[in-house]
Structure formats: structure tokens, C-alpha cells
Amino acid sequence: MLYFILIIITLIFTHELGHFLASKMFNVKVEEFGIGFPPRIFKFKKGETVYSLNLIPLGGFCKILGENENIDNSRSFSTQPAYKKIIILLAGVAFNFLFAIILYSILFSIGLPSLTDFNSQDIYQLSNIAPKEQFIQINKVQDNSIAKDLGFKVNDKILSFNNRTDFAEFSTFLKENKNQEITLNLENKDITFTNPDTLGIYYTGVNIYQSSFFQSIINSFKVCKQTIVLMFSLLGKLFTSIFSTQINTGVAGPIGIISITQSIANLGFIYVLSFAAYLSINLGFVNLIPISILDGGRVLMILIEKIFNKKILNKINNLVNYLGIGFLGVLMIIITIKDILKIFK
């Protein structure tokens, strides 16, 4: 839960920081910049802006003068030209993408692990990035097992088996070589033994991606681009699956993300960071969807006003907003119900 809260606060803070800095750049008044949702824990005022820390740690906000109403003030959002409004609105999305690129750049530089079964491509291979290293990692050694007696330990890395590195065939290799003498080459030792019916280890494949600093930046852009491409291709299918009777839709809400975060946290902090980068791209992408209360929907409304050179009436604008809130509310209820059903399935 702690990692989930930290990730959400960081990503929302990054998003709202984009709106904040863009507003300041255009001299649009920011009334309050808050982390979390009210009630307030404490606040302080610097210049004309109130900065607050709030009790509910599941978001944040940047309150801009005239953002949701027409205010006749030269520093109001509502009186700004269309291009400034669009830049302010899209700055949050841009900062989410930028945050992911920075985080991925650091991770690629130090070595980014990715779990795999070696039979399918992960997001990095789909981005045309080749792993620097591949191995099998032991996640659990059963008590009173032959593996325990042989000295296998959790986090041991199997670098090859009988000098083979076609790891996708490792499971088949163990099954086809029962009662045969085999050698597993570990990171710091080799273990030769007669392969039993049950060895007593649980394992997963791991790809390690590592590159120079400048190549890491390039790789980060590749991953960001590929993630967005995949989300575009899946968008229609996701909406269809959400409203189907299937439980495993591939879509997760807050409860689902908490569960995923807890599982990833058990793997190590570096996996948490890569998951945060992935979620940051997701948050940026979702905010581009043209639903009225999201940044993408608000940009669409501004473009419609610009194209037809006519201000949208407040009644129409409010109605569209209510419909957008209602749609997202229903969507979140359905996703949350399916997240709960997954837990008890």
C-alpha cells in the first residue's frame, strides 16, 4: 500500500506540476497547488499561490483562476488565447511522459530487469531493444527438496544448463532429462546432479537491459512510443471488454493497481520504479482521451470554440462535464467490481 500511495502522489504531483509551471510561464494566476485532496493538513502562502498538503493521498490539484468559469481578468485562464490554454492543459500530460523518459533513462543506465517466459517479447523487445543479459532466477526453493540439499538458494541465477542458453526450452529440458546427469551453471558455481522427478525450485526468466547514458535516453523514447502505440491499439478492445461479463479484462482500477504494486514490490525496488514509469505513460495517455473532464476533452472543447469562433454556453459545457463525470464514474465502478472479483476468483 505504501508503494502504491507514493507512486500515485508522485505521478499526480508531476502531472499537476506541468499545469502549474505552464500557467506561471504565461502569467496565469495559480490560486492553489495541493498535494492530496482536502481536508487540509497544513498550508502556506508564497506570493499569490497557496501551497497545501492534504489528508487524502490519492491525487493532487492545481487550482487556476478562471479554469472552470469565465472570469473577466487578464490573468484568468478563461481570457487566454486558445494556444495558451492548450499548452497549459497539455503540460500535465507532457510532464508525465517526461517523467517516464527520465526514469527509464536512469533504469536503462543502471540495468533494467524484466520478467519473461522467453517465449514472447516484452515491451522493451517490442521497442527493438535487445537484452544485454538473460538468465533464469530462482524465486523459491522448497523445504525438504533435492534442490535444498544441492544448495540452491533464492535469487540464484542460472546462466546456462548443460552449456545451453535457450532458456525458453529450460522447462522442457528438465522434463526430458529425468534421471539423467545435468549441469546447471549458476552465477558463482556449477551444480551437477542426477535430475530427479521433482527438483523443488520455482523460477522465472529475466531479461536485463543496460546501455550507455545517451543510448538509454534513446531507448526511453522508444519504450514511451511503443507503450503509447500499444495503448492506442488496445483502447477499443479495452472499452469493449470492460462492459463484457469477463473478469480478466486486462484493465485495472485502484484496487487492481494496489494488488499489482504489492506483487511488484516483492520483486525489488527497481521493479517498482519501472512500474511507476509505465504508469506515468498510462496516466498521460488516459488524460489525452477526449472525455470532457480530462485534459484531452477540454482541449477538444477549446478547438471546437476556435473552429466555430463561438463560445460554448455554460449550460452546454456543464452538461458535457456532468456526462463525462457520470461516464467515468460508471466506468470506475465496473472496473472496481471486476478488480474485487479477481481477488476472490
pLDDT digits (tens, 9 = 90+) for 134-153: 999 998 889 888 999 998 98
User: Domain locations in the chain?
Assistant: 133-208
Quick one: pLDDT band at residue 337, thresholds 50, 70, 90?
low
Q: What is the pLDDT of residue 65?
A: 93
What angle is formed at CA 181 by the lines to CA 175 and CA 184, rounded to 5 degrees? 75
- Taking the chain, what is the end-to-end CA distance rounded to the nearest angstrom? 21
Mean pLDDT over 292-320 rounds to 76
Q: What is the pLDDT of residue 339?
A: 47
Higher pLDDT, 319 or 339: 319
Distance in angstroms (rounded) separating the CA atoms of residues 317 and 296: 15
Q: Are 33 and 49 in contact (CB under 8 A)?
A: yes
In the chain, the DSSP E strands lie at 30-46, 49-64, 112-116, 133-141, 157-161, 181-186, 190-194, 201-209
For 7, the 3-state DSSP assignment is: helix
Q: What is the pLDDT of residue 117?
A: 87
Longest distance between any two alpha carbons in the chain, whole Å:
84
Distance in angstroms (rounded) separating the CA atoms of residues 311 and 194: 79
Q: Are 33 and 65 in contact (CB under 8 A)?
A: no
CATH 2.30.42.10 fits 133-208, yes or no: yes
* 328: exposed, middle or buried (Cβ count in 10 Å: 0-12, 13-18, 19+): middle
> Quick one: the chain helix, strand, coil %, rounded to 5?
50, 20, 25
Q: How many CA atoms lie within 13 A of 81 on its CB side?
A: 3
Mean pLDDT over 111-140 rounds to 91
Mean pLDDT over 333-338 rounds to 51
Q: What is the pLDDT of residue 343?
A: 44
Q: What is the pLDDT of residue 256?
A: 56
Q: Are 223 and 123 in contact (CB under 8 A)?
A: yes
Give the three cell numbers for residue 215. 543510448
- Helix axis angle, 314-344 relative to 254-265, nearest 10°? 50
Question: What's the Cα-to-Cα distance from 234 to each of 114, 119, 228, 240, rounded to whole Å?
Answer: 22, 21, 10, 10
Mean pLDDT over 194-213 rounds to 91
* 286: exposed, middle or buried (Cβ count in 10 Å: 0-12, 13-18, 19+): middle
Distance in angstroms (rounded) separating the CA atoms of residues 345 and 343: 6
Instruction: Kindly report the number of other CB atoms within 10 A of residue 254's CB atom.
Output: 14
Q: Which of 224, 269, 254, 265 is nearest to 99 (CA)?
A: 224
Cis previous bond, 39, omega within 30: yes
Helix-then-strand count for the chain, H and E: 10, 8
What angle is formed at CA 117 by the lines to CA 115 and CA 123, rounded to 5 degrees? 55
Q: What is the pLDDT of residue 247?
A: 44
Q: Is the pTM of this model over 0.85?
A: no
Distance in angstroms (rounded) separating the CA atoms of residues 180 and 178: 5
pLDDT digits (tens, 9 = 90+) for 214-264: 999 999 999 999 999 888 877 766 656 555 555 454 555 555 566 677 677
Q: Are 77 and 88 in contact (CB under 8 A)?
A: yes
